[in-house]
């Protein structure tokens, strides 16, 4: 694994990064051809198996036409049954984003198309607030701090810092990856195989552009440049996120875990009603998502599909999962009803909701959260109802309506110490915003008192001026108050003696 990672990193750096090996970033960049530009002539792709040139050209053209469909707006409710093959084999990509101009003539295998047309204006560069100029090759000439993030079947991802200090992610075809390697072994055509793999990046670029949403990773730009022995290799520049680590998420506060589930619900609602039609994520796993400032965003759209499944009866509409199967109705128009959104919804249940939603939630919210988990696990709700119930949970939590009125008459009295804090005397609780102390969010002072009363070791608490994403205040709970110090940004409350 270390050898492979080192080889991947070395190959990428030789193409794009650091010192003298950044030479490729100084090479003149090119951009996609104008919309409607016909594919150019094709060179000899190199030796391969007999008949391989035609098959490789067919596969390139099929991916090219897929990118074209999504770039124009996507097909109708169905354009053919999804192929039954390994999901990781389905990776695609999407075109560039500046005003296109023709690249240098770089022929492909006979019959293979060139780059598809670019989409219209889209996500701005980092730090911008609206559509604007995209980042291009010039932005990559003086990057620093290159770090390998990871790689999959087709692509490698790197983190770099732009000259202005902003960190972004770079995606490129992995020259040591399985996708390119298996194609070269089969066809013996390195340039043609690169083009085949790069169309996965192109499709992803188109979908990031067409599906723009707060829970879809932002696409900042792209660069075409010569690399190694292959002309016009493609690098995409995107928003940088943190990988989704489920073990770590299970140790975070319920409020943060709920935010992830709410983000996912909003994303699935957007995909079900997107400008392209209902979009399904065939490869739906935590590794396809990242966290950006606490929000969940989909980053890998290689395996997204818009086409609904055609059918002649309900027997054609079976959703298969490892633990169970579902049979959906076949519509009068000959399409499996809501199969795309139901596939997304059940995957959200089995990878996210069942682990993140109910555990350590406020007791009064648990019945509603259990109903969300059960309904998505049984597919009795669609994405509209699921999102409506998640938004209801948010409203109850943010407004404080979830709080249960306390009838305890023997509540202790607390002395109010404004402009002060208790720097020590911490204890741990779970879940906490801080691993070394008990730091929780509260709706109001009464909830802070209730929490302190429910913890046997709690004798005081400190209200900070920091708030969570829902506007709730963060409070430290303490075992005592033997050492109180001034702090204008905090207020201490200590249990009155006697």
Active site residues: 283
In whole angstroms, give the CA distance from residue 254 to residue 259: 8
Asked if residues 341 and 277 have their Cβ atoms less than 8 Å apart, the reply is: no
Asked if residues 134 and 214 have their Cβ atoms less than 8 Å apart, the reply is: no
In whole angstroms, give the CA distance from residue 146 to residue 170: 10
- Strand segments, DSSP code E, in 355-468 are 414-421, 438-442, 460-467
In whole angstroms, give the CA distance from residue 201 to residue 486: 55
Question: What tokens does 477 get?
Answer: 């709970």
Which run of H or E residues covers position 57? helix 52-72
Asked if residues 175 and 181 have their Cβ atoms less than 8 Å apart, the reply is: no
Q: Which of 221, 191, 176, 211 is nearest to 110 (CA)?
A: 191
Asked if residues 105 and 123 have their Cβ atoms less than 8 Å apart, the reply is: no
In the β-sheet with 295-298, what is the strand arrangement from edge to edge? 242-243, 289-292, 295-298
Which run of H or E residues covers position 479? none
In whole angstroms, give the CA distance from residue 194 to residue 163: 29
Q: Which of 192, 173, 215, 224 is nearest to 29 (CA)?
A: 224
Q: Which residues, including other chains, have CB under 8 Å from residue 325's CB and lie 6 or more apart?
A: 318, 319
In whole angstroms, give the CA distance from residue 84 to residue 106: 33
Q: Exposure of 353 by Cβ count < 10 A (0-12 exposed, 13-18 middle, 19+ buried)? A: buried
Q: Name the H helices within 73-189.
A: 178-187
- Strand segments, DSSP code E, in 242-353 are 242-243, 280-281, 289-292, 295-298, 304-305, 318-320, 325-327
């Amino acid at each position: 694994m270390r050898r492979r990672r080192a080889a991947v990193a070395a190959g990428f750096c030789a193409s794009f990064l650091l010192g003298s090996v950044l030479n490729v970033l100084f090479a003149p960049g090119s951009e996609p051809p104008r919309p409607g530009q016909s594919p150019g002539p094709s060179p000899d792709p190199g030796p391969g198996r007999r008949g391989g040139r035609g098959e490789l050209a067919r596969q390139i053209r099929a991916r090219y036409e897929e990118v074209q469909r999504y770039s124009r707006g996507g097909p109708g409710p169905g354009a053919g049954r999804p192929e039954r093959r390994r999901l990781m084999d389905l990776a695609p990509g999407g075109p560039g984003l500046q005003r296109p101009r023709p690249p240098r003539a770089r022929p492909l295998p006979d019959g293979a198309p060139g780059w598809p047309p670019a989409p219209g204006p889209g996500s701005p560069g980092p730090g911008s607030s609206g559509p604007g100029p995209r980042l291009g090759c010039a932005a990559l000439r003086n990057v620093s701090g290159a770090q390998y993030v990871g790689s999959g079947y087709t692509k490698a991802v790197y983190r770099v810092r732009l000259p202005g200090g902003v960190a972004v992610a770079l995606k490129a075809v992995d020259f040591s990856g399985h996708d390119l390697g298996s194609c070269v072994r089969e066809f013996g055509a390195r340039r043609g195989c690169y083009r085949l793999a790069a169309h996965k990046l192109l499709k992803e670029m188109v979908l990031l552009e067409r599906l723009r949403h707060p829970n879809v990773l932002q696409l900042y730009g792209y660069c075409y440049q010569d690399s190694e022995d292959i002309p016009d290799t493609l690098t995409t520049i995107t928003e940088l996120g943190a990988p989704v680590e489920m073990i770590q998420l299970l140790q975070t506060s319920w409020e943060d875990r709920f935010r992830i589930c709410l983000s996912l619900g909003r994303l699935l609602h957007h995909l079900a009603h997107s400008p392209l039609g209902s979009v399904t994520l065939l490869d739906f796993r935590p590794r396809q998502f990242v966290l950006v400032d606490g929000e969940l965003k989909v980053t890998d759209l290689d395996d997204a599909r818009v086409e609904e499944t055609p059918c002649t009866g309900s027997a054609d509409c079976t959703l298969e999962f490892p633990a169970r199967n579902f049979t959906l109705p076949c519509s009068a128009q000959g399409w499996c009803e809501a199969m795309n959104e139901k596939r997304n919804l059940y995957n959200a249940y089995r990878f996210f909701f069942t682990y993140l939603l109910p555990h350590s939630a406020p007791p009064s919210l648990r019945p509603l959260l259990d109903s969300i988990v059960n309904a998505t696990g049984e597919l009795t709700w669609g994405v509209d109802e699921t999102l409506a119930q998640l938004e209801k949970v948010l409203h109850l939590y943010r407004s404080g309506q979830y709080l249960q009125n306390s009838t305890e008459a023997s509540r202790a009295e607390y002395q109010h110490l404004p402009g002060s804090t208790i720097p020590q005397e911490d204890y741990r609780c779970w879940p906490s915003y801080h691993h070394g102390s008990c730091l929780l969010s509260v709706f109001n002072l009464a909830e802070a008192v209730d929490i302190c009363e429910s913890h046997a070791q709690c004798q005081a608490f400190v209200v900070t001026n920091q708030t969570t994403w829902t506007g709730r205040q963060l409070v430290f709970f303490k075992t005592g108050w033997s050492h109180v110090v001034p702090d204008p940004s905090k207020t201490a409350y200590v249990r009155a003696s006697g």
